[in-house]
Amino acid sequence: MLSGGVDQKEQDFKNRNSILTHYKIIDNDMNLLFKGKVAAKAPSVDSILITEFFFSGLISKLTD
C-alpha cells in the first residue's frame, strides 16, 4: 500500500524533475536529453551520478 497523499506524490514528482532539470537530464518540457539517454543505458544503481561524473570530466582525470 502506498503511503502519502496525492499532494505529497506531486511534490515528490516536482522535486525529482527539478533535480533532473538541474543536471540537464531532462529539459523544462520533460524531454529526455542526451545525458538522460546515457544515464538510462548505464547499468548502475546510481546511473545519474555515474553520468554526471562522466560529463563533468571527473572520470577522465582518474588513473589506474
| Chain segment 38-57, per-residue pLDDT in tens | 777 777 667 777 777 777 87
Give the residue carrying C-alpha cell 546515457: 38
Split at pLDDT 50, 70, 90, the class of 34 is confident
Q: 54: closest CA among 23, 29, 19?
A: 23
**Residue 28's pLDDT band (boundaries 50, 70, 90)?**
very high
Identify the pLDDT of residue 31.
94
The residue whose grid cell reads 533532473 is: 20
